[in-house]
């Protein structure tokens, strides 16, 4: 796995709806390996790998966007009120930093609290960019910011602010690079606006009408103190999704993924996620429908600035995706 690729992607700017910068980062890593590259009206970056004509049309989706915030109002003294872009939780905000598209940095904090243990809602938070008033504020209403935190690799322990889902993009990119041949026409879709409703994948799937759809995304774990009960943990391999709150994975595709993993000696887990969903939901029900599933990367602390994965799980996710795509898909 290319750690420099991971660093570039997870540190990049790209809240939902503002993924242009991420497209520019990803494109050089895929253009020498794809037979065709395009960008659709929604902004999805699509790389087609041509098959030998004996297989299916397969869509692989990994979303480029990340959670963030958008400015709704600027006070007379230059502080920014904001709303969320995707799943931003107030408990994660105080003292964190955000970065706007032009590089402007801001510190997030909240109004006075009655006690140190109280957590205000988003409406009681603000962003401080160092302005003294509206007139010298470097950002405007409607500007979007992503959270800012540098990437850290500590042996196999990888921590960043946007593993969701830049690490899925890494898996897709490296699978494309390693996929020497395939019977299938494979469309690697680096999708937009997943965090606000899997919108980019829906548009792409409606246009492509794939036979099979595979989303590459993160999933939570049950291996930390007092965590919600869940049979997924770090360092135990990729998780093959069975169900989440938005979809039931195609049973034939689940069986195929398990078989390919076992044949290749790749460790894996089975995932049942009680909250949240992925691009696979939109692929499954777009157009005439598709056999859809998910390869999930186990991730601790999802939707914080310290999302954490294991490099071995990432590497095995790449291997599993290549195994699935390089051989017949029989459902």
126-141 per-position pLDDT tens digit: 999 999 999 999 999 9
Domains and CATH numbers, the chain: 3-66+161-326 (3.40.630.10), 68-147 (2.40.30.40)
- For position 1, what pLDDT does the model report? 87
- Once rounded to an integer, what is the mean pLDDT over residues 194-200? 97
The share of the chain scoring above pLDDT 90, in percent, equals 95
Q: What strand order describes the sheet that includes 212-219?
A: 36-39, 45-49, 185-191, 57-63, 212-219, 291-298, 239-243, 269-272
> CA-based angle 223:229:230, to the nearest 5?
70
- Once rounded to an integer, what is the mean pLDDT over residues 70-98? 96
106 near 100, Cβ under 8 Å?
Answer: yes
- Taking only the tens place, the pLDDT of each residue in 278-288 is 999 999 999 99
- Taking only the tens place, the pLDDT of each residue in 48-63 is 999 998 999 999 999 9
Q: How far apart are CA 261 and CA 253, in angstroms?
A: 12
- For position 208, what pLDDT does the model report? 97
- Taking only the tens place, the pLDDT of each residue in 3-44 is 999 999 999 999 999 999 999 999 999 999 999 999 999 999
Helix axes 3-10, 20-30, angle to 10 degrees: 160
- For position 192, what pLDDT does the model report? 98
- Taking only the tens place, the pLDDT of each residue in 271-309 is 999 999 999 999 999 999 999 999 999 999 999 999 999
Residue 271 annotated as catalytic: no
- Taking only the tens place, the pLDDT of each residue in 236-266 is 999 999 999 999 999 999 999 999 999 999 9
pLDDT-derived band at 116, boundaries 50, 70, 90:
confident
Q: Single out the catalytic residue among 194, 195, 202, 307.
A: 194
pLDDT at 185 over 90: yes
Q: For residue 186, which of 15, 1, 322, 39 has the smallest C-alpha distance?
A: 322
């Amino acid at each position: 796995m290319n750690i420099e690729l991971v660093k570039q992607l997870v540190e990049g700017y790209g809240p939902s709806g503002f993924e242009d910068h991420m497209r520019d980062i990803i494109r050089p890593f895929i253009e020498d390996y794809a037979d065709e590259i395009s960008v659709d009206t929604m902004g999805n970056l699509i790389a087609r790998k041509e098959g030998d004509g004996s297989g299916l049309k397969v869509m692989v989706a990994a979303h480029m966007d990340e959670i963030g915030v958008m400015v709704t109002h600027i006070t007379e003294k230059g502080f920014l009120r904001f709303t969320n872009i995707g799943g931003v939780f107030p408990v994660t905000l105080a003292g964190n930093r955000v970065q706007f598209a032009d590089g402007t940095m801001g510190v997030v904090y909240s109004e006075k609290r009655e006690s140190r243990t109280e957590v205000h809602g988003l409406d009681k938070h603000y962003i401080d960019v160092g302005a003294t008033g509206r007139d010298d504020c470097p950002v405007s209403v409607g500007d979007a910011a992503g959270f800012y935190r540098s990437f850290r690799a500590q042996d196999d322990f990888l921590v960043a602010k946007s593993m969701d889902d830049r690490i899925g993009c890494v898996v897709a990119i490296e699978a494309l690079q390693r996929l020497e041949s395939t019977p299938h026409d494979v469309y690697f879709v680096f999708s937009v606006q997943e965090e606000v409703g899997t919108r980019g994948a829906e548009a792409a799937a409606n246009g492509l009408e794939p036979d099979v759809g595979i989303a590459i995304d993160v999933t939570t774990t049950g291996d930390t103190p007092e965590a919600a009960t869940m049979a997924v943990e770090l360092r135990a391999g990729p998780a093959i999704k069975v169900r989440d709150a938005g979809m039931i994975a195609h049973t034939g595709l689940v069986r195929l993924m398990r078989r390919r993993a076992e044949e290749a000696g790749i460790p894996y887990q089975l995932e049942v996620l009680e909250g949240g969903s992925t691009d696979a939901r939109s692929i499954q029900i777009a157009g005439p429908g598709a056999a859809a599933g998910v390869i999930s990367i186990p991730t601790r602390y999802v939707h914080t600035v310290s999302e954490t994965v294991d490099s071995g799980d990432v590497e095995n996710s790449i291997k599993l995706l290549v195994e699935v795509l390089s051989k017949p898909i029989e459902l």
